[in-house]
Chains A and B, each alone.
Chain A
Amino acid sequence: MASVETAPQQPTFIRPDGKEKVTGSGRYTADLTLTGQAYARFRYADHPHARIVRVDASKARALPGVLAVLTHEDVPGVKYGQMAQDRYLFAKDIVRFEADIVAAVAATTEEIAARAAELIEVEYEPLPAIVDYEAGMAEGSPLVHEDWASNERDENLVADGNTLGYSTIVKGDADAAMASADVVVKGRYTSDPSHGVPIEPHAVVAQWQGDKVTIWSSTQVPYIARSGVAHTLQIPEANVRVIVPLLGGGFGAKCDFHFEAHVAALARAAGRPVKLVFSRREEFVAIDHRREGMVLEFETGVRRDGSIVARKARLVLDKGAYCGEGGFLAQMAAMHACGPYKMEHVFVESYLNYSTTQPSASVRAPAAPQVCWALEQHVDEVARAIDLDPLEFRRRTLIAEGDEGPTKQVFDHIAIKETLERAAELIGYGEELPDDEAIGFSCGWWPSFSSNAGAYVQLNPDGSGTIVTGAQENGTGAVMAMPAYVAEVLGMRPGDFQILYQDTDAAPWDMGSAGSQTTFNAVRAVLDAADDVRNQLLDAAAEQLEAAREDLELVEGSVRVKGSPDHAVSVAEIAASTTIHGKGAGPLPDSPPVEAASCVGRLGFESFLAPQLFTHAARVKVDRETGVVRVLQVAAAHDSGRILNKIGADGQVYGGIAMGIGMALSEGTLLDEQGRQRNPHLLDYKLVTSADGPAMDIEWVEIDTPNAGPNGSKGVGEPPCVPTAGAVANAIAAVIGTQVRELPMTPERVWRAVQERAEQEGDAR
């Protein structure tokens, strides 16, 4: 067992971007105004699924004040999509969901742009909606993409008709093993789609100078946006510069390339800068980036001693109309259907199916919260079936040092069992509670992502420094913490450093704010660059002080000889007399070895690099008469390796719990039978408010993690929203005596579960 200790207290961390964000002086993309700026408006599909017979934009073009109207005829006829190229910038022959873009308008005012968009005449031949993504797999079902077979896609995507990606996780022979189990438990669950809901809506401003375009965009992934613009407009990537002003939240919803090329094309056609700002309704229906709906079936065979003999699962995921970056969802969901448990035999299959609804893609920990919610209820049900307390069953089955996962990855330096014990302790499990309250547990895992990243650190003649990073600050503070790390290496103060970031012309490529990767990779690069600077400072000081390098130390803004503090030269003096500039990338960790030859649809998630492990325990109160659930307390214990910035890491957990409670109880997108959203606004898509927040207790179980991020750290950002819904579900079930098998667990669904339970008890009597 690895040694475990509690995080030491760290000094208060003050974010460089904090004051401007809190006081309102910060400038976001929608705040930009350029001289001569025009306004963009999209014309969306009038049917969720239809063939376009005719588009006539002549009336819109004739409206005074209209500067440009674009359809598919006005842009290169290339398809795009990171993992499968199945979409045009403007729908060409078919519209495949309610907010598919048919045309775009630029006009001198927002009102004229809106009016012009309405004046575009589109004639359709409606096609059958494919909303039931499970039924869409059946032989003879109408297809979302008739030409699916000829679309270019990632070579590891196993596609067939409406199934964009099929993945399996296979270990041993689950069917044969299931027959030998003492008890077999089955369960089926469904989850509605949901949304990331950043408070800042999507916004894009584009301006051309010659054949180069500068695009300000509220994106989490500026370099991926740059690639998307270059590909869809068929221009060199070097001609595209993407700048992200302050970003007002993302939660994954601003990952991937989306609208930058539409606005750039409008700006080119209009001969003016053009600005697009989404309304809240568009932020729901048109961002083609939601958390997917899912159908989940589990079957687990156990022995009476609590060991898991076999796990089978069948998952069906709603991909929506287009692939984008989201082709990995099936395999990711399959790994979460295994979870961080010891299992002798496994067969999990996962289907990622197209439908004529909004595209699904990354939202904070894509696919994980829904699968975790369902699996952890199933785990409780298995525990009950063999008369074990849910805590005790988890104690016996969670992975520990040296155990192997579903693809025979062997784990070392992991502390999930410790997170279980700590969460139980923090929430006071076992203490007497009122009869309308109960506690539930949920455990989970999430990989860290290894990716290229690069940084520069330079020192300026005034003794200050500049950090140049490709990393994207989405609000977590991951980029804002960089000065603290660099200052520590160089013996300087965090306030000595400026950050130049979120400009693709300034810094090396970065995958963006996605995959909990910013600290994991970009800080590795920044620390490597800081080391380079440190070496340059030591070399220069050794010469100036006529001292041996190894006798020097960097302290309080100076390089000095150890033991004789007066024998020193300040960093400012060195920086004024010579050029000090470092660069760094750092070595990437290796993918852990696995045995996954029998798994299908492998996209890289068959191994979980430096897995983040966690347990949440939730205490809830259920109003049995109304089904209204209040979450009173959540205890969150996480193994994210070494914690580099505790206040930032804690912030991720606070926000993750709030997001998790929203998913658990109220955040669900409802669709009509044509696949149109029925609640695309904040009154009926109910986020958790601060008044609903529970008491939260956080503990980091810190162990040095080999083959991981800087200083033995793992990722932090995504996992906090993964296990909360499962913990809340298990607590609800403990109060009402039955499970709520639909997510979100709205008051009406909880109430129905109570009614059904009462009827069953009545029948039993």
Chain B
Amino acid sequence: MTRTFVAPATLDEALAAMAAGARPVAGGTDLVVGARQGKAPLPDGLLAIHRIDELRGLAETESGGLRLGALATHEDIVANATVREWFSALADASAIVGSHATRAQGTIGGNVMNGSPAMDAGGPLLCFDGSVILRSASRARTVAIADLWTGPGSTSANADELLISVELPAPAPGTGSCYVRLEYRRQMEIAVVGATAVVTLDGGTVADARIAITALAPTIRRIEAAEGALVGSDGGPDAIEAAARATAEASTPISDVRGSAEYRLAMAVVIARRAIAGAIARARGEHIPIPASPALHGAP
């Protein structure tokens, strides 16, 4: 058994290693933990990408959007003022991923490419119309987040493609967003049920709504019926309740050690309701602390 480990400083060298079969590692919070748990052995060829400048950075773009380099950690994301103000749901999510150590170590690139249906940051990236830049030795392409996740742990990226960055367009004025997760404890938690809402208000009316579910289907996905129940409404309790119920109806949860399908479905309504209410409140300029989950669950 021969194992290789390379840690190049340039993107070209990294893409060449990918072409030769190496697999990237950054924070290692999925790869290493998974290998220790016996989920999948470590790949024989490991490509450490932490030295590559093109993969760094977390900044507002000229058009008011956001570019997150693959190596941006959850800590970086939570600390970023643009994210907190304009992409609050993403800050909500990154603030509660794993533990302090996970957030300091884990990167958005690895998080996205791991393809977990329980990924906290996934719903926000999807609802903000995110896309990813993928590069291989031979080409570069942009893939919408909506087209990236194909099943639990699988993506539409080719094996030799490396995620360079995640790009988010500027949200419309009057937009508020919120990510809420059911939490059994306050740290080192994984989503059992999660919901994202991105709501744009125009006057007193909901002009646009994006609602996504986490850990309630094989992939994180948007729920059009729920969005439809909100758009055009006043964003009041009845509309929120209708959207929350539509969210649950479109969910297809499984039963596992973290909860039964029946419980998850019941929680889908509760969590979606809290996320939507949080997004609307933020769109109205009300203050909800980041992360929203403990605040909305009534923590002291």
CA A731 to CA B179, docked complex, whole Å: 30
> Would you call B257 and A623 a contact (CB within 8 A)?
no
Q: Are B185 and A686 in contact (CB under 8 A)?
A: yes
B186 interface neighbour in A681, A692, A747, Cβ under 8 Å: A692
- Range, interface on chain A: 20 to 34
Q: Is B298 engaged at the interface, CB distance under 8 Å to the other chain? A: yes
By size class, the interface of chain B is 20 to 34
Whether A280 sits at the interface, judged by CB under 8 Å, is yes
Contact present for B298 and A621 (CB under 8 Å): yes
Residues from chain B with Cβ under 8 Å of A752 in the complex: 263
A interface majority secondary structure: loop
Contact A280 B36 (CB under 8 A): yes
Evaluate contact between A436 and B187: CB separation under 8 angstroms: no
Pick from A489-497, A527-535, A625-633 the stretch touching chain B. A625-633
- Choice from A621, A666, A678, A683 contacting B300 with Cβ under 8 Å: A621
0/1 per residue, B262-300, Cβ < 8 Å to A?
A: 010011001100000000000000000000000001111
Residue from A626, A632, A679, A752 whose CB has the most chain B CB atoms within 10 Å: A626
Q: Contact check, B185 vs A748: say whether CB atoms are below 8 A apart.
A: no
A residues 399-439 touching B (CB-CB < 8 Å): 436
Residue pair A436, B298 in contact (C-beta under 8 Å)? yes
Q: Does B172 contact A (CB under 8 A)?
A: no
Within the complex, the shortest CB–CB distance from A259 to chain B, in Å, comes to 20
Interface of B is mostly: loop
Contact A751 B36 (CB under 8 A): no
Given contacts A670-B257, A751-B263, contact A630 B299 (CB under 8 A): yes
Q: Which residue of A lies closest to B33 (CB)?
A: A683
Q: Does B138 contact A (CB under 8 A)?
A: no
| Contacting pair A692 B185 (CB below 8 A) | yes
Contacts of B260 in A (CB 8 A): 748
Given contacts A748-B260, A751-B266, contact A626 B297 (CB under 8 A): yes
A281 contact from B38, B298, B300, Cβ within 8 A: B38
Whether the pair A666, B257 counts as a contact (CB closer than 8 A) is no
Minimal Cβ-Cβ distance residue in A for B185: A692
Which B residues lie within 8 Å of A632 (CB)? 300
Q: Among residues 719 to 765 in chain A, which have CB atoms less than 8 Å away from a CB atom of chain B?
A: 746-748, 751-752
Contact with B along A647-666 (1 / 0, CB 8 A): 00000000000000000011
A623-B297, A626-B270 given; A666·B184 CB < 8 A: yes
State A111–B41 Cα separation when bound (angstroms).
12
Cβ of B184 and Cβ of A686 under 8 Å apart?
yes
Complex CA distance for A670 and B258, rounded to whole angstroms? 10
The answer on a CB contact under 8 Å between B36 and A279 is yes
Q: Is the CB of B37 within 8 A of A681?
A: yes
Does chain A have a CB within 8 A of B237? no
List B contacts of A625 (CB < 8 A).
270
Interface: B259 (CB within 8 A): yes
A665 vs B183: C-alpha distance in the bound complex, in angstroms? Answer: 12
Which residues of chain A are within 8 angstroms of B271 by Cβ–Cβ distance? 626
Expressed in whole angstroms, the minimum distance between the Cβ of B44 and any Cβ of chain A is: 13
Q: Which residues of chain A are within 8 angstroms of B267 by Cβ–Cβ distance?
A: 626
Q: Report B-chain residues with C-beta under 8 Å of the C-beta of A751.
A: 263, 266
For B190, what are the chain A residues with a Cβ–Cβ distance below 8 Å? 683
Q: Is B188 on the interface with A (CB-CB < 8 A)?
A: yes
Given A279-B36, A689-B187, A751-B266; 11 other pairs, CB 8 A cutoff:
A280-B36, A281-B37, A623-B297, A626-B267, A630-B299, A682-B188, A688-B185, A689-B99, A692-B185, A748-B263, A752-B263
Nearest 10 pairs of A and B residues by beta carbon: A691-B186, A689-B187, A691-B187, A748-B263, A679-B257, A625-B270, A684-B257, A678-B257, A692-B185, A692-B186
| Residues of A bordering B, CB below 8 Å | 111, 279-281, 436, 621, 623, 625-626, 628, 630, 632, 665-666, 670, 678-679, 681-684, 686, 688-692, 746-748, 751-752
Sample of 5 A–B contacts (CB below 8 Å): A628-B297, A630-B299, A665-B184, A689-B187, A692-B187
